[in-house]
Amino acid sequence: MSGGVLQTEFEFTLPQGYADDEGNLHREGVMRLATAADEIKPLKDPRVQSNGSYLTVILLARVVTRLGTLDNVTPHVIENLFVSDLEYLQGLYERINTQGADAIETTCPDCGESFTVEVHGQDEVVAGNAEAE
Band of the pLDDT at 126, cuts 50, 70, 90?
very low
Q: Is residue 125 part of a domain?
A: no
Residue 107's pLDDT is what?
Answer: 79
Residue 118's pLDDT is what?
Answer: 61
- Name the domain count of the chain: 1
Q: Is residue 116 part of a domain?
A: no
Q: Is residue 3 part of a domain?
A: no
- Angle among Cα 65, 66, 72 to the nearest 5 degrees reads 80
Q: Is residue 126 part of a domain?
A: no
Listed range (21-30, 54-63, 72-81, 120-129) with the worst mean pLDDT: 120-129
pTM for the model: 0.74
Q: Is residue 109 part of a domain?
A: no
Range of the domain at 47: 9-101
Q: How far apart are the C-alpha atoms of 100 and 116, rounded to whole Å?
A: 13
Q: Is residue 59 part of a domain?
A: yes
Q: Is residue 38 part of a domain?
A: yes
Express each pLDDT in 14-57 by its tens digit.
Answer: 999 999 999 999 999 999 999 999 999 999 999 999 999 999 99
Q: How far apart are the C-alpha atoms of 113 and 127, rounded to whole Å?
A: 13
Q: Is residue 43 part of a domain?
A: yes
